[in-house]
Amino acid sequence: MSCAPRAARGSLPRLLLTRPRAQAEGFAARVRAETGLTPIISPMQEIRALEVRPDLTGITALAFTSKNGVESFARLTDTRLPTYCVGAATAERARALGFEAMAAAGTADDLATLLPESGVLHLHGRHVRRVLSPHHLAIYDQVALPLSAEAADLLSDNALDAVALFSPRSAALFAKVLPQNPTTKPVLYTLSAAVAAALPAGFAPRIAPAPSANALLGQLCADFPA
């Protein structure tokens, strides 16, 4: 999904991005170029590698539910096995790192339907919603971070117009920092129904029509045109 480039404008509505910084910065560049939003980056998670050694005895395929898993595994070993990925972006990253990768339609449920009945190792973060194989291993941690001072001030001043949430953990962490009884609420945009389910009652999140960053960006383009 790509929207028309925007022209220079005055003060723009603000979008909070809580993804890990590298992913947030890539998405923010597209937001600046293609929407009428100003992105505010405040990661609420930091990805940290775990000191583990994957046991590949009897393993004939790998399953990844995020690019973080692909990148963490690639740093741990030079081994490359046939790989099943949650979506197109994760599969693209896996191929760039030397894996032969197949992409599911974007959710863990979609990925589960693709996996062979045996011989699969699911590699994931310490905080995982669902494991997809009897053989699974956490190879990275998602360490919680506080909101930046800028983001916290904007939130408390009801000065955020929208928030993009890409994972259930991000949604749960953001829910914990919401002010009590705010006079207005930012519009929450979630990557999937599973992300929306991690939010407290009282919000009516806008769920992306497909579980991809492109689809979520498309919603932002439609609601906050350049």
pLDDT (tens digit, 9 = 90+) per residue, 90-124?
999 999 999 999 999 988 999 999 999 999 999 99
Q: Which domain holds residue 80?
A: 47-143
Co-location of 166 and 113 in the same domain: no
User: How far is Cα 58 from Cα 61, in angstroms, rounded to an integer?
Assistant: 9
Its pTM stands at 0.85
Measured in degrees and rounded to the nearest 5, phi and psi for residue 157 equal -90, 10
Burial track 36-57 (b if 16+ CB lie within 10 A, e otherwise)? bbbbbbbbbbebeeeeeebeee
Q: Is the pLDDT of residue 11 over 80?
A: no
Helices 213-223 and 21-34 pack at an angle, to 10 degrees, of: 40
Read off the pLDDT of residues 47-87 as tens digits, 9 standing for 90 and up. 999 999 999 999 999 999 999 999 999 999 999 999 999 99
CB atoms within 10 A of CB 87: 23
Could you give the number of structural domains in the chain? 2
Co-location of 29 and 80 in the same domain: no
Q: Is the pLDDT of residue 7 over 50?
A: no
Token output for 112: 């589960």
| 38 closest CA partner among 127, 115, 150, 143 | 150
Instruction: Report yes or no on 201 lying in a domain.
Output: yes
Structure confidence at residue 182 (pLDDT): 62
Structure confidence at residue 75 (pLDDT): 94
Instruction: Report yes or no on 183 lying in a domain.
Output: yes
Structure confidence at residue 9 (pLDDT): 44
Residue appearing with tokens 């998602």: 142
Instruction: Report yes or no on 8 lying in a domain.
Output: no
Instruction: Report yes or no on 113 lying in a domain.
Output: yes
Decide which of 92, 118, 143 is a domain's last residue: 143
Instruction: Report yes or no on 9 lying in a domain.
Output: no
- Per-residue confidence band for 3, with pLDDT thresholds at 50, 70 and 90: low
Co-location of 132 and 183 in the same domain: no
Instruction: Report yes or no on 6 lying in a domain.
Output: no
- Alpha helices (H) along the chain: 21-34, 67-76, 88-96, 108-114, 149-156, 168-177, 193-197, 213-223
Co-location of 127 and 163 in the same domain: no
Instruction: Report yes or no on 129 lying in a domain.
Output: yes
State the CATH number of the domain containing residue 81. Answer: 3.40.50.10090
Read off the pLDDT of residues 136-183 as tens digits, 9 standing for 90 and up. 999 999 999 999 999 999 999 889 999 999 999 999 999 999 877 666
Co-location of 135 and 214 in the same domain: no
Token output for 198: 């991690």
Structure confidence at residue 8 (pLDDT): 45
Between β-strands 135-144 and 45-49, what pairing exists: parallel, antiparallel or unpaired?
antiparallel
Read off the pLDDT of residues 177-212 as tens digits, 9 standing for 90 and up. 987 766 667 899 999 999 999 988 777 899 999 999
Decide which of 87, 122, 143 is a domain's last residue: 143
Instruction: Report yes or no on 160 lying in a domain.
Output: yes
